[in-house]
């Protein structure tokens, strides 16, 4: 068994142009003041990190890490959710996903994909320079527009899709392997990797690559109506990162899992601040600790009702209250009789 580290916070939803959210030291001091001990860095936010520089200079990486730690927090992982999304994009989404990339590659899918791949290579090297062992990302998607089997999918389409996805990712995964860092894919609707089955398909297509691992976020499983506790039992050996995010699912006579194109407030499935949703975090923290999963508990705030600063303030204490200090002895050790082979044989009648 092992205690989870934390509390930590993903800075993506908080970074902005207003103080204290507009530069690295200020936002880290803000996080520390709320009781967080770690921060997950969104690498597309230029105000928070120069990814290329951290990747190419160990000296600069050490200075960057020291600057963060001087504020009272440590770096848990780097994140490339936006860049990872662009490793694989179906043409149907070209226009909408162009906004994730710099302007010079807009309308140029091949150049955009190469940019995303290079970003991932930088992320691997930057993570290694910072002494990190896990990295958070998305897989991107070639198949999502076929997620519902109508019209009927042509034979072999899914297999070909995962084969191509693996082809795009394997050079990146190999670089992460050289750097000693796991790529933790957040299983998320809109990604080809969105549940256990699709993760298994991808893992098999990569030849069971040792660096293709999982970022566990139960909120996405609530919205898919997947058993998020059984998921831990099944994939405990693959979970290397953890987003602590709450959600609820309240189907009506008018709308269910697909949401009817409604906004977040009106959807049956919606994200909530910690403690306001339906996720059983007591059981989640128990299972993760029981299985000895060595990860940080990182708040990802996404709520359609509560203000983000309130969510962040409440989240640190919520996570702290759920982290289990695992026991080093059994509760009934006081009644133990020690080890005696002859006594055991006598009790067994042999």
Q: In this predicted structure, what is the pLDDT of residue 72?
A: 98
Q: In this predicted structure, what is the pLDDT of residue 123?
A: 99
Question: What is the helix (H) or strand (E) element at residue 194, kind and residue range?
Answer: none
Q: What is the pLDDT of residues 98-110, one digit of tens each?
A: 999 999 999 999 9
Q: In this predicted structure, what is the pLDDT of residue 12?
A: 98
Which domains, and CATH codes, for the chain? 5-348 (3.20.20.150)
Report residues of the chain scoring pLDDT below 50.
Answer: none
- Give SS3 for 78: strand
Distance, in Å, from the CA atom of 146 to the CA atom of 331, rounded to the nearest integer, reads 52
Q: In this predicted structure, what is the pLDDT of residue 270?
A: 98
Q: In this predicted structure, what is the pLDDT of residue 331?
A: 74
Mean pLDDT of the chain: 97
Q: In this predicted structure, what is the pLDDT of residue 337?
A: 67
Q: Which residue has the tokens 């394997």?
A: 170
Q: In this predicted structure, what is the pLDDT of residue 330?
A: 76
Q: In this predicted structure, what is the pLDDT of residue 78?
A: 99
pTM above 0.85, yes or no: yes
């Amino acid at each position: 068994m092992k205690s989870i580290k934390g509390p930590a916070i993903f800075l993506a939803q908080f970074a902005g142009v207003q103080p204290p959210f507009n530069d690295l030291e200020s936002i880290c001091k803000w996080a520390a003041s709320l009781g967080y001990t770690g921060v997950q860095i969104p690498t597309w936010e230029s105000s928070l990190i120069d990814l290329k520089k951290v990747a190419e200079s160990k000296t600069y990486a050490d200075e960057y890490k020291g600057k963060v730690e001087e504020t009272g927090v440590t770096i848990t992982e780097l994140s490339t959710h936006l860049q990872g999304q662009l490793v694989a994009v179906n043409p149907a989404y070209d226009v909408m996903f162009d906004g994730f990339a710099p302007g010079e590659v807009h309308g140029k899918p091949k150049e955009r994909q190469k940019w995303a791949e290079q970003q991932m290579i930088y992320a691997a090297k930057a993570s290694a320079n910072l002494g990190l062992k896990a990295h958070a990302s998305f897989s991107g998607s070639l198949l999502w527009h076929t997620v519902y089997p109508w019209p009927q999918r042509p034979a072999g389409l899914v297999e070909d899709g995962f084969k191509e996805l693996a082809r795009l990712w394997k050079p990146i995964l190999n670089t992460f392997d050289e750097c000693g860092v796991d790529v933790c894919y957040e299983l998320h609707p809109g990604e080809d990797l969105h549940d256990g089955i699709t993760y298994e398909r991808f893992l098999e297509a990569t030849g069971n690559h040792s660096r293709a691992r999982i970022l566990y976020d139960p909120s996405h499983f609530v919205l898919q109506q997947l058993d998020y506790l059984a998921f831990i039992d099944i994939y405990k050996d693959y979970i290397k990162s953890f987003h602590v995010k709450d959600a609820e699912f309240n189907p009506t006579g008018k709308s269910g899992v697909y949401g009817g194109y409604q906004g977040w407030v009106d959807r049956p499935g919606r994200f909530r601040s910690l403690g306001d949703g339906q996720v059983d975090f007591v059981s989640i923290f128990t299972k993760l600790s029981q299985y000895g999963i060595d990860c940080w508990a990182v708040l990802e705030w996404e709520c359609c009702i509560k203000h983000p600063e309130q969510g962040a303030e409440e989240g640190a204490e919520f996570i702290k209250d759920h982290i289990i200090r695992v026991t080093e002895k059994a509760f009934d050790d006081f009644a133990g009789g020690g080890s005696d082979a002859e006594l055991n044989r006598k009790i067994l009648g042999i």
